[in-house]
Chain A
Amino acid sequence: METFEDFLKRILSILFWLLLLSPVIIFPVFFLLIPLLGISVPTTNEFLTALIDPIKGIQLANKYGVGPSSTFFKIAAFPGFTFAALIATITILYERKLIAKVQLRVGPLYAGRFEGVLQPIADLFKLLGKEIVVPEKADKFFFWSAPILSIGLGAALLAVLPLSPNIYIARSDVSLLIPFAIIGFSPLIVLIAAWASSNKFAFIGGLRALHQLVAYEIPMLISVLGVVILSGSLDLISIVESQQQVWFIFPQLLGAIIFYITILSELERVPFDIPEAETELVSGWLTEYTGMHFGLLQLGVYIKFYALSLLFTLLFLGGWYGPAFLPPLAWLLIKLFFVITIVILPRAVMPRLRIDQLIRLGWVWLIVLSFINLFIAVIEVSLGVI
């Protein structure tokens, strides 16, 4: 039987031969045919040096407009998609290890030399190797579009979330509203996936996701309004900057708790994993998805997880502010993983709620409490506490 290490060795040997053969096959095409079209390309020497020398590589990338300061790099790599996917992957591993410790298990152990650190990569290769099964009676277009939309939605959330005063993709005066506008689409994607599967269990799961939206969306928006009143701005960077003295979690504790509960609900995590309730609905709206379809849907959910945890950090935990012995980005990541831990933990200690209980919780408790929280914010501002 092929072990995971043998498998990695095989992949690496394929990459090695590709690299060796590429000068013979790819470079002639690249350097002979493309200049005929009138586009300037890097010389062979430049290109090969860039492959092994990072500084040269950055210079070359800058020359063609994809360097670290370019918009393309920002969107694709650092504050954008690749960084979010990396955090999402770490979150998946961290969740599995943390829940395993609570449940007196060891969790992933064998992939990688230390504590199964390579397990997400092994899972990725497993998902890539699986067959993508599309049900015969499914609506093919929408069935294929749901995973792409899911990951697109996750990525779109990242557009305006700053990581520090000068690390962000785009800055807007209303950057707080943009994530909430995008999040509003997520139950639509669930419904598309559920409807296109033409499966009864998936369909019930999709309907439950819509009901869930009704329960959490309004308190989520109102709980954030308290922060807006205190800071007097809808710009996330100004909101963080107004927390330089006091983090908003202290004057806005009630709002933070409501926002935390609605995050759990939005991410369909225990105790609100009602749309994918396993024992009633097989896997809910995910029932018919296999292989990389399933992987993309899950990655989309975990990128959303990262974005919402980051939003909580920015709104209530003072973003990148902290004692000066660590850089701002490090403080942000520490707070981010603290939030991620708190979002993960209910999975270890709570059972699942029923949809009618969630709707009652949302309409009877959360909406009323979020309005009370709004009044608290108004009173605090008028008394000049903040």
Chain B
Amino acid sequence: MQVVDQGGDKMVLHVGPQHPGSGHFRIVITLDGDYIIDAKPDPGYVHRGAEKMAEYRTYIQNIPHLERPVIIDATGITLPYVLTAEKILDVEPPERAQYIRMIMAELNRIISHLYWLAIYGIFLGHSTMFMWPMGDRELFIDLAESIGGTRVTFSYVVPGGVRNDIPGGFKERALKTFQYFEKRIKEYEEIFFNNPLMQSRTVGIGILKKQNAVKLGITGPNLRASGINSDTRKDEPYCFYNKIRFDIPVYKEGDSYARCMVRLRELQQSMDIIRQVLDRMKPGPIKHVIRGVMRGEPGEAFVRTEAARGTMFYHIVSNGERFPYRVKISVPSFRNLIGMSHLLVGSRLADMPAIYWSLDYWPVEADK
């Protein structure tokens, strides 16, 4: 740890990597009294070279490997990879598989958002808001487990379709869970989102203006909280998102509270999407079986999807071998990290957690 002499009454504070509020990264904060005058995010503590390692694995082996960076949003990061790989391998998944992929993607979005909500609660010192979403998250994990077989790392989406069909009785259980969770969302609002103390901690804190959000390249819910109606599911529909009716929650304020509300509304939207998908789904094959070794056509492909944290972008270059020649991932967390230092400067030290976690920054995803 280097000691920086700032002179005067300024204090340099290293938040992380060993800090209950930092995660696997560090922010070097310079304080003048209670105000942050400089914030330097320092990522890279969990860099594992996921992109390079992907060049030494086959297209199938890459699926469990590439979901490691963000296991709480496993489908969010594997789905765009599989879509890109399908372009390289030139296979078309059956219709039912596309729908099941959407179910898993939206379930994972709910699981990821609930995890975020729980941590946001405890970041503001609200311990009940930590326990409730963590408990309700288990219900959605159970639903996803009944499809994918594991609790968190599903590795469920494969080139050509999905691994297995959804089990019988899934629709009834899912609808029952949604009915229960819609009641819980109202309780969340009562105890947390409409709580005047919570609003006094988040409203008007960490305002990200519309033009700054565009200039800094923010994506996902953070961008939509700044008043920009941008969602890859609407802009460049993949799977069958163009056949489903759903709204994109957009808030104009751009503060921490707006970012919270976008995610809360997205929980509802995701459940609506799954309901419609369950109604539209017809029985049929779920996998286009590929025989022999998968070898891509020489060439390159890219796909953009909407993961829980924002736009997830994959670019794969193939030279016709069993392994991809190059896998480039552009993850939303790293793009949102750019905005963090912009938001932290000028705020109070006590607002640091309220701003930091409202961006839903996941250090492992950013470091890859």
Contact = CB atoms under 8 A, between A and B. Distances in A.
A25 B34 CA distance: 62
Interface string B345-359: 000111111000000
Contact of A99 (B122, B127, B352, B353): B127
A104 B132 contact: yes
- The size class of the interface chain B forms with chain A is 20 to 34
Interface in A255-285: 270-271, 273-274, 277-280, 282
B131 A103 contact: yes
Closest 5 pairs between A and B when the two form their complex, measured CB to CB:
A352-B125, A279-B21, A103-B131, A351-B124, A351-B126
B89 to A, nearest CB: 45
Contact of A279 (B11, B123, B198, B200): B123
A277 B132 contact: no
A349 B128 contact: yes
Interface string A332-364: 000000000000000111111111110000000
Interface string B1-29: 00000000001010100011100000000
Nearest to B348: A354
B195 A350 contact: yes
Interface string B197-222: 11011000000000000000000000
A162 B296 CA distance: 85
A105 B126 contact: no
A103 B19 CA distance: 25
B122 A279 contact: yes
A130 interface: no
A127 interface: no
B11 A103 contact: no
Contact of B128 (A102, A200, A201, A282): A102
A105 B132 CA distance: 9
Interface in A74-115: 99, 102-105
Given A351-B195, A354-B350, A356-B34, A282 B127 contact: no
Given A271-B125, A349-B191, 12 more contacts: A103-B131, A103-B132, A273-B125, A280-B352, A280-B353, A348-B127, A349-B128, A350-B197, A351-B125, A351-B126, A352-B126, A354-B348
Nearest to B33: A207
A279 B20 contact: yes
B135 interface: yes
A277 B353 CA distance: 10
A279 B125 contact: yes
Interface in B315-368: 348-353
Nearest to B357: A279
A104 B200 contact: no
B11 A200 contact: yes
A204 interface: yes
B128 A278 contact: no
